[in-house]
Structure 1
Amino acid sequence: MVVDLLHLADSDGAGWGGKTFTTGATAGNVLGLACGREAVVGRRVRERTGSTDTTVAGAGLLAACRAGGVAEIQVLTSLGHSSLAKAASIVGLGQGSVKDVGMGGVGEPWRLDLDAVERELKRADAEGVVSIVVVSAGEVNTGRFATNVLDMPKLRSLADRYGAWIHVDGAFGLFARALPKTDEFLGLHAHVAGLELADSIAADGHKLLNVPYDTGIFLCRDASVLTQVCSNPNAAYLAAPGDTNAILSPLNIGIENSRRFRALPVYAVLLSEGREGIAAMLSRMVLLAREIAAFVRDSEHYDWLPAADASLEDTFVIVLFRARDTALNEVLVDRINATGKMFVSGTTWEGKKAVRIAVGSWRVEVARDAAFVKEVLTAVAEGRGVANRVVSSR
């Protein structure tokens, strides 16, 4: 149902042999890098030895890399989420393996620079380095996307040529694929077009689907890679009844052996709302974010980030901004949150403090909530109705 909602199936309805629920996109990124590691090292081992006996899952990372002549595993991305470095650490690649190949030089650091990706893949292939490319479908500060409609086919071609694995970190941005295909959302659809060409995808259910924490989604095109990574060997007591037509056991397609029924609330939401209801809910979120972004852009008190001349059509559910008054900007997050009327999170952008509004509630009513946010932000900027005491954010 999730694959169908997000239009991720191939034309014949197939394409994602490995599907499981996780604790969230962080766990999904761990699985994505683990599967990518298994696949790219395994390919080198087969090319070098002609054997499939030596795998990362079976022999260990060091032994498999030696067998395949692999000197390094690199992760190429653009403004990757912090959980990506954490995942790289967990699966033994190291945080230093994550390399940024974004288009920062032209003011779009969230965008993958495909020319840089190609150069890295070509260099890596010649030097015994294997690669995983991670596409950020929704950068955490700006909500912007790493690719567009033309990028994913080219990236898929490059990955196939150089034996790389493509993983999508779609924690919240993946759900842009469920928006109505109307003119106001065509730009967003262009940014998430082609994500179905990836080898693995991670997403969160507990964000835009509004199901309880902790609920994540992981998809892997090749089920055999996922089961190779996650299988429970030599555990006869865990064996399921023999049935060649049975679905893959959750024991062998995820990190946890013991888990709660994470699929149930997702199923309930999809059954209750349907494709049209989910699309309408997401539409309200996006339209509210755009109303807030337009207000910030036109305000005398604030600067809309990352660029004041950007198109509102590129706004998904995140609004990034800062106060023009330097002193106010230093305490802006605390001042807004001290009103007790709305909550924002703080971040940094281009080395300076910034404020991040993330719209994600099913209760959104665009006109009502936009007016509310505008009033709070105006009052904070003008010092009206805001306590002088700054509440600690720690």
Structure 2
Amino acid sequence: MQNQLQQDLWKAAQGPWESSVLPSAENLARARASLPAALPETGSSLESIQRHIVDDIVPAFNGGSISANYYGFITGGTTPAALFADNVVSAYDQNVQVHLSNHSIVTDVEYNAIGLLLDLFQLNRSTWYNGTFTTGATGSNILGLACGREFVLQNAAQRKGSKLQSVGEEGFFEVLSSLSLSGVQVLSTLPHSSLVKAAGVLGIGRSNVRNVCCTDDPLRFDLEKLEKELARTDKVSIVAISCGEVNTGRFATSGADLRDIRQLCDKYGAWMHADGAFGIFGRILDDSPEFATIKNGSDGIDLVDSITGDGHKLLNVPYDCGFFFTRHPNVASQVFQNANAAYLTAGNSEGPSVPSPLNIGIENSRRFRALPVYASLLSYGKSGYEEMLQRQIRLARKIYEWIFDHSAYTALPETSSKTELLAQTFMSVLFRANEETLNRELSNRINNSTRMFVSGTSWDGTPACRIAISNWRVDVERDYALVIDVLAKVAERQ
């Protein structure tokens, strides 16, 4: 029985998602009714628990990872190699915390996977081989801002001739007070909400995430505004680059912009962080004219001090998985060093110098989430991931072109140039309905088809919809036909 259940689940996760993207109301109701009101006095058999999960709970899942037509959150999917590896992770349940060469291979595999990711993103190992895996972009953004906070305050101490001070060791308030500073600010344009959340978690404060955009473009940096903020004497600054804005998928900078921002950060002792949750994947594309705008948008990211990435987006590995890179090998350990736990000290090691993850990240107890990354990277290689991303981009551009030409819809951000719109399209499609009543209900009407799922969002203060294409199962012609059929029928029934 157990083997048959495992085979059924494996087959469902492997093959095309034949049913609706969202669960039916009946399946949701049945699943909720099956949940116990209280913990039973005696336990049930393994077989009955398996049947309960497979028969009652699984039918109430959405097809977010399994369906190519789930375009809501940028969740990607789970490649076959990653799914196999994730089952191994659960079966052996390794805790990846301390590098002990004679204890387990897991830290070596994780360290190797970091190197493979650097190769995929064309980041020099000699500079960037200082990273770790996290639960996702939120965790990685916390690491980036925490390292930035440490770095800019140490820079301020040096500039003032003060003894170097560590927030990790002495405390945020104490360091600010000794340097006569009122706080740390984060300077950005259209930052993702997780970056703002990270500022709140770290005591920087959500209100200290400041917008320094151009008046005619909310995503592009105004360098005069940026320098004015960087020059403040009462605060120190972290500059956060949106390498892929969440609604449009567009990039805040080009390579030339990043060089200018880098010069300003060096001049004023600021830390430069890139939130590349999905935008960093632009670096895996070739240099053909078809993808030139995207490649230019991710160009120069190697100039920043730290980078956030998300594995459970375009890398198509399971939740929860993010990664974090930094050019500064010692800053993370100053913040996250695990103190006063002799039993967690690494023993003698042979081979490469592999850092213990608990000293460079948030968690002491960590799932072996690097193994699905490792497996999927080996399975697809550079060319496989490039081909996957090309299909996602081509589908997004094909849908955008249809929306641009359709009288019932407006492609966003608004432009009179279809050529410009398509050139800037990465893997997100942002649009609205022209009729006001339909626009207010647009995402619900699309999702009620049960054939695809989109996210409702807001653009320029009005409702909009986003189609985010990220699943490895994408088929351009098949999925294009489905999407435009749904959108056309929604428009006809307004």
TM-score category of the 2 structures, normalised to the smaller one? over 0.9
Asked if 1:29 is matched to 2:144, the reply is: no
CA offsets 1:92-150 (integer angstroms, 9 cap, x no match): 101011001122x21x211222222122212x1xx231000000011111111110121
CA distance in 2, matches of 1:250, 1:340: 42
Instruction: Give the residue type in structure 2 aligned to 1:268.
Output: A
- Give yes or no for the alignment of 1:81 onto 2:192: yes
Deviations along 1:58-109, whole A, 9 cap, x unmatched? 0000111122232221100001111111100101101011001122x21x21
Q: Determine the C-alpha separation between the residues in 2 that align with 1:315 and 1:133.
A: 25
TM-aligned CA deviation for residue 298 of structure 1? 0.7
Partner Cα separation in structure 2 for residue 293 and residue 114 of structure 1: 31
**Deviations for 1:13-59, whole angstroms, at most 9, x for unmatched residues?**
4112420000000111101110000000111123324423x210100
Q: How does 1:122-201 map to 2 (within 5 A)?
A: 122=231, 124=232, 127-201=233-307
Q: Distance in 2 between matches of 1:69 and 1:47?
A: 13
Structure 2 unaligned runs (5+)?
Answer: 1-115
Structure 1 residue 177: Cα displacement: 0.7
Matching residue of 1:388: none
Q: Give SS of 2:220's match.
A: strand
Greater shift after overlay, 240-249 or 55-64? 240-249
**1:63 and 2:174 matched:** yes
1:343, CA displacement in angstroms?
A: 0.2
Are the equivalent residues in 1 in contact too, given 2:123–2:302 (CA < 8 A)?
yes
SS where residue 34 of structure 1 aligns?
helix
Kindly indicate whether the alpha-carbon contact (under 8 Å) linking 1:215 and 1:262 is maintained by their aligned counterparts in 2.
Answer: yes
Query: 1:213 aligns to what SS in structure 2?
Result: coil
Name the TM-score, length of structure 1 as normaliser: 0.93
**C-alpha distance in 1 between matches for 2:293 and 2:390:** 13
Q: 2:366 is paired with a residue of what secondary structure?
A: coil
2:401 to 294, 314, 319: 294
How many Å separate the matches in 1 of 2:387 and 2:171? 47
The correspondence of residues 151-300 of structure 1 with structure 2, limited to 5 A, is 151-243=257-349, 245-300=352-407
User: AA paired with 2:229?
Assistant: E
The answer to whether the 8 Å contact 2:312/2:318 transfers is yes
Aligned partner of 2:221 in structure 1 is 112
Q: 1 CA distance for matches of 2:476 and 2:230?
A: 45
Alignment correspondent of 1:342: 452
Which residue does the alignment assign to 1:387? none
Tell me, yes or no, if the aligned pair for 2:259 and 2:303 is still in contact at 8 Å: yes
Is residue 397–residue 422 contact of structure 2 (8 Å, CA) maintained in 1? Answer: yes
CA–CA separation in structure 1 for the residues paired with 2:415 and 2:156: 47
Q: Which residue of 2 aligns with 1:369?
A: 479
The CA distance in 1 between the partners of 2:278 and 2:178, in whole Å, is 38
Q: Which deviates the most, 171-180 or 240-249?
A: 240-249
Q: Distance in 2 between matches of 1:266 and 1:307?
A: 38
Could you say what secondary structure the match of 2:126 adopts? coil
User: Is 1:318 matched with 2:428?
Assistant: yes
Secondary structure of 1:159 counterpart: helix
Aligned residues: 375
Kindly indicate whether the alpha-carbon contact (under 8 Å) linking 1:136 and 1:168 is maintained by their aligned counterparts in 2.
yes
Q: Which has the higher contact order (CA 8 A, sep 6+)?
A: 2
What does the per-residue CA deviation read over 1:350-391, in whole Å, with 9 as the maximum and x for residues that have no partner?
11000000000101111111111111100110019xxxxxxx
Instruction: Describe the superposition over 1:183-217 as per-residue Cα deviations: whole angstroms up to 9, x where unpaired.
Output: 10011111110001110000101011110001001
SS for the counterpart of 2:127 is: coil
Aligned partners of 2:118 and 2:129 also within 8 Å: no
Counterpart secondary structure, 1:147: coil
The one-letter amino acid of 1:304's match is A
Q: Conserved in 1, the CA contact under 8 Å of 2:219 and 2:252? A: yes
Contact 2:282-2:294 at 8 Å conserved across structures: yes
Match of 1:341, as an amino acid? R
Q: Distance in 1 between matches of 2:213 and 2:460?
A: 14
Asked whether the 8 Å contact 1:206–1:214 carries over to 2, the reply is: yes
Shift of residue 159, structure 1, vs aligned partner: 0.4
Which stretches of structure 1, 4 residues or longer, exceed 3 Å deviation after superposition?
A: 242-245
Cα drift, residue 308 of structure 1: 3.1
1:348 partner letter: S
Matched, 1:98 2:187: no
> 1:66 & 1:263 partners in 2: Cα distance?
40
2:443 maps to which of 296, 313, 333: 333
TM-score after normalising by structure 2:
0.74
Q: Residues 112 and 135 of structure 1 are in contact (CA less than 8 Å); yes or no, is this contact kept in structure 2?
A: no
Q: Is the 8 A contact 1:321 1:355 kept in 2?
A: yes
Q: Is the 8 A contact 1:204 1:215 kept in 2?
A: yes
Conserved in 2, the CA contact under 8 Å of 1:44 and 1:70? Answer: no
SS of 1:345's partner is: strand
Choose from 149, 153, 163 the match for 1:41: 153
The 3-state SS of whatever aligns with 1:271 is helix
| 2:446 and 2:487 in contact (8 A); partners too | yes
1:121 is aligned to 230
Q: Distance in 2 between matches of 1:367 and 1:249?
A: 46
RMSD value, Cα: 1.3
Following superposition, the deviation at residue 181 of structure 1 comes to 2.0
Conservation of the 8 A alpha-carbon contact between 2:250 and 2:425: yes
CA shift, 1:234, in A, is 1.3
Per the TM alignment, residue 262 of structure 1 is displaced from its structure 2 partner at its CA by 1.2
- Paired with 1:207 and 1:329, the residues of 2 have a C-alpha distance of 28
Alignment check: 8 A CA contact 1:45 1:69 kept: no
| Aligned partners of 1:297 and 1:308 also within 8 Å | no
Aligned counterparts of 2:161 and 2:225: Cα–Cα separation in 1? 31
Question: Can you list the C-alpha shifts for 1:320-347, whole angstroms capped at 9, x where unaligned?
Answer: 0000011101100000000010000000
Q: How far, CA to CA, are the matches of 1:330 and 1:321 in structure 2?
A: 12
